[in-house]
Amino acid sequence: MPRFQALTLDGMSVETALAQHLERPTGRGHTPAGAVTGAAGGAACGDLIRVSLLIHPSDPEGRVADAGFDAHGCGAAIAAGSAVVNLISGAPLLEAARIGVDDIAEELGGLSPAKRHAAELAADALHRALGMAARAQTQLQAVEGRAVVAMSGGVDSAVAAVMTAKSGAEVVAVTLELWSDPENDGERSCCSAQAVRGAREAAHRMGVPHLSIDLREEFRTGVVDHWLAGHAEGETPNPCVRCNGNVRLEAMLELGHRLGSETLVTGHYARVREDDSPGSSPLLRMALDPVKDQSYVLSGLAPESLARLRFPLGDMHKTQVRELAEREGLAVARKPDSQDLCFLAGTGLTRFLERHGDLEGSPGPIVDLDGQELGAHKGSRSFTIGQRHGLGLGGREPLYVLGTDSRANTVTVGPREALLTSSVTVRDVTLRREGTVVDHIKVRSRGRRVPCRLGQPAEPGRHSYVEVELEEPIERTAPGQMACLFAGELIVGYGTITAPPEKPLASGRAGHTAPAH
């Protein structure tokens, strides 16, 4: 119920909750010392709301000790900011994290569709402030059975949240905002501001608190810049492995610790196998559904992170997940899966490279294996190894891209059989177990596993290079891609595909620098 009730005289309203908040706004212009501030709105809509709050530093529930707001634009924006301050003052962090658009509208006595936009902006500003406060000001008391669930706004993470709640755990939903680009299709991206809003609404419909954290700067420097640098060198790195292993899941694990939880649940299709051997660490295991298996993109996770992760969908098929979502009445039950890289959603690769990486291509020759010029390209970085279409070399036998040279600005093509290789060189390798147990390699996220063995002895640890000998030839993979090493269904190592080193390795353990746990 709204805190301000309308006063009536002879059945007529003389003052509404909206009017009270507008005429006597709570906390307008007040920014507590040491507060964090979240903002939403701006030039696009003309309304801007900032919410500032301070979490009590020693309160085990993280109560809001002080709060204020500022707003520019329509009167409804001012009233919505005031309503937020009223709702969160003195509230524990996780209770404040349950406040959504409907709660703000109710505090104002109800809003017309035209004014509801103000409540949406106020909710966005509030939750950006809450996310910052959770990361910087909060250390909640540890609670047994509390689980942080990563929610992306899609069906998999929503079902993971439902399953976790049904197990009896206290669920706290968390979403990351990783990328913002006006040329992107935010509805198709799993990490945009639209995705954050959708995940928050889904969490609130489930009755669980939701926090979002802004990792756009960390994602840009830790993932996108690395990906762009790889393309500048003529490589094709896999950003998802780096994101999961260095940025995304680590940030949520750290947030979980601050929220009093040591467990992070995600909607990935993967499993974890605990090893009871003394001194051994847990290992990733492939999911039951081989089509949806995502263990490849999780292979960079450290063992201590794996020990805290839970993957409830690992023993399910996608059809079962959607059926469960239907039974639970989840609005995202039939939402299509995201297909693009999150920062490419709706943006072509070439256009993205030109805009963000200063990698505008320049024309150069397309040559065959003998160096004979067959045609021209507009930029070598737009081509990937194995590509057949888009070469502009009609009237010939089918030709495939065999390699690109960013320095010489050439694209080399040849027949399909020239793509085949019986060995793969992998650099910067991490092995979790002895190299003798490696029996399969996977070089593409959606590719198949290929029987193999390591070309030299290798102890657990880190290695500059290892040579992987294949039992059957495969098509060459672009340098920069990740190679995942398996022992059965278990991932026991990973590294980056590269061209063979110019000189042979001096020993079977070249580059061994440190143990792997």
Active site residues: 243, 342
Q: How far apart, in Å, are the Cα atoms of 266 and each of 195, 198, 313, 358?
A: 16, 17, 8, 35
What end-to-end distance do the CA atoms of the chain give, in Å?
Answer: 54
Distance between CA 361 and CA 378 in Å, rounded?
6
Picking from 45, 49, 56, the residue whose alpha carbon sits closest to that of residue 21 is 49
Length of the chain: 517
What is the three-class DSSP state of 373?
A: strand
Q: Compute CA 267 distance to the chain's CA centroid, rounded to the nearest angstrom.
A: 12
Instruction: Give the C-alpha separation, 506 to 463, whole Å.
Output: 13
Q: What distance in Å separates the CA atoms of residue 447 and residue 301, rounded to the nearest whole number? A: 20
Strand 36-41 to strand 48-55: parallel, antiparallel, or no bridges (unpaired)? antiparallel
Q: Of 280, 84, 10, 244, whose CA–CA distance to 150 is shortest? A: 244
What's the token pair of residue 346?
Answer: 């709706």
Residue 236 near residue 341, CB atoms below 8 Å:
no
CB 82 within 8 A of CB 69: yes
What are residue 85's phi and psi, to 5 degrees?
Answer: -60, -40
Lookup result for tokens 């059926």? 323
What's the CA gap between 234 and 405, in Å, rounded? 6
The answer to whether 512 and 441 have CB atoms below 8 angstroms apart is no
- The phi and psi torsions of 513 (rounded to 5 degrees) equal -125, -30
3-class SS of residue 508: coil
Backbone angles phi, psi at 256, to 5 degrees: -55, -40
Q: Are 21 and 108 in contact (CB under 8 A)?
A: yes
